[in-house]
Chains A and B, each alone.
Chain A
Amino acid sequence: MKERIQKVSYYPGCSLRGTARDYAKSVEAVCDMLDIELQELADWNCCGATAAHSLNKRVAINLAGRNVMLAEQAGKDMVVPCPLCFNRLKTAERELTGERKDLYDVKIKGGKIQIWDLATFLARGEILDRIKELKARELGHLKAVCYYGCMASRPPKITGEKRYEDPVSMDLIISALGVKVRPWSHKTDCCGASHVVARPDLVSKLVGKLFERAFRAGANCIIVSCQMCHANLDLYQERIMKEQGLKGSLPVFYFTELIGLALGHKDARKWIKMHFVDSSALLADGLEGALA
């Protein structure tokens, strides 16, 4: 067995067990290829998401905090693929080590482990070098915009992101794969997230604007790191394009799926086939036989 360069705790979050299984599969496979051993946090619970912080701050911090506590017990740095989970866990960590920690029912030590947004974790120099080293094919025919959404960057006092108006983690990874990354204006604009359930009209307007700007930037696909963004941009794309008077289609990929594709993982195409927007024509172009 080869020696693993890094062992980390892994907090998948609820969506990755359901509608975002495509993301989960690509995350797990790609980390394995990059010699990162993901050790799933034992008995993790839901981070509470938007529902908890909207209705009860104490519950929100308690729920997210329990996972931070478990991660401290596991004793390793933890990666979180879902930016909302990441944001909630970081918020709890801050609150539970702050002045008002006694308001809550969970106790943590703080400063023992680091909680990472997965894209930020994978965009570090050593991992980028490894990606370049293992790269099996060029994806030069893809013209992508990287869409970060809100929660991995904002607010910076929680996320620790220095370039919160112009994050670059996915740009670094995706360009390392040979993809042409286009500059664009809407990297960190909001997709509407869970409003898609009760107020789909809001999401339609917000996502419509993203599509329009992505087209204007000359992109033929969008890269994301958030499963909520992915759901809103992919599952509802056909309807939103129609509602917002737009023509065309924009396949939406998780950044980990593209890593898998470029590194030649045998299942990469299977993950991508779990999306709603068809990308077979786009991917076939320039990848002669490689993905057949």
Chain B
Amino acid sequence: MEIGEKSFTENSDAIKEELHKLLKVSSCFQCRRCTNGCPVTFAMDLYPDEVIRRVAMGQLDRVMKCSTIWICSSCETCTTRCPNEVDIAAVMDFLKESAVRSGIQPPERKTLAFHESFLKEIEKRGRVFEGGLMQSYMLRSGELFSKVKNGSIWEDVKMGQRLFFKGRLPLLPERIKGRREVRDLMKGQRGPSSK
């Protein structure tokens, strides 16, 4: 996206427009309704209202590095309940996208690895093949190594076997005809460097 292709830390006009005009961060009056309704605050390092406040104050470096934006489960409760129509969940997405574009290593590296593996699947076939997704995630996240090491890999193997015998794990992926079209629609997803 145009906005993300600029350096985020420049705090450019386009970014300000996105955050203030479209996502309305400056309308926040700190009622904390977002934080009170959020189901995953127990795992966050900044509460959602703190993220919004810091964004409004221009502390973008801090919020791009927090775990909160990755812990957010996109349940949309905050956005739904905000009395001032701040699109909090969309701010979380905006910050994740910006963090990745700025080359920040997120504190939730495995979550990012999952998202990246997921998009790779779509790029390859136009659809997601769950078997392929899990293999790719295991490698990309380093989980394969750590799970083999601590023995927990067997739980995953058993899960896969059980799904297979229940008829829920097809062995062959589906591919769509419009794969090239889909790939074109995904161009530029990894930022300016891959263009």
Contact = CB atoms under 8 A, between A and B. Distances in A.
B80 A54 contact: no
A235 B156 CA distance: 12
A66 B180 CA distance: 13
A155 B185 contact: no
B87 to A, nearest CB: 8
Contact of A50 (B40, B42, B115): B115
A63 B185 contact: yes
A17 B182 CA distance: 19
A18 B114 contact: no
Nearest to B179: A45
Contact of B122 (A50, A63, A198, A201): A63
B80 A51 contact: no
Contacts of A106: 185
A55 interface: yes
Contact of B111 (A14, A53, A156, A198): A198
A190 B100 contact: no
B71 interface: yes
Interface stretch (B28-36, B45-53, B170-178): B170-178
A215 B43 CA distance: 25
Contacts, number: 163
Contacts of A52: 118-119, 122
B97 interface: yes
B128 A206 contact: no
Contacts of A121: none
B147 to A, nearest CB: 12
Interface in A48-79: 48-59, 62-63, 66
Interface in B161-195: 162-163, 166-170, 174, 176-178, 181-182, 184-186, 188-189
Interface string B116-129: 10110110001111
Interface in A1-57: 14-15, 17-22, 43-46, 48-57
Nearest to B99: A55
B13 interface: no
Report the contact-size class of chain A (Cβ under 8 Å from the partner): 35 or more
Contacts of B188: 56, 58-59
B176 A55 contact: no
Contacts of A151: 76
B40 to A, nearest CB: 6
Interface centre among B130, B167, B177, B186 (most CB of A within 10 A): B186
B77 A150 contact: yes
B148 interface: no
A56 B122 contact: no
22 contacts: A14-B128, A18-B131, A43-B178, A45-B182, A52-B122, A55-B189, A56-B189, A59-B119, A59-B186, A59-B188, A59-B189, A105-B185, A164-B80, A190-B77, A197-B134, A198-B108, A198-B114, A202-B40, A202-B43, A235-B159, A235-B163, A274-B168
Interface of A: 14-15, 17-22, 43-46, 48-59, 62-63, 66, 103, 105-106, 150-151, 154-156, 164, 188-190, 192-195, 197-199, 201-202, 205-206, 235, 273-276
Task: List 7 A-B pairs, minimum CB-CB distance, nearest first.
Answer: A51-B118, A198-B110, A190-B75, A154-B76, A62-B185, A51-B115, A14-B128
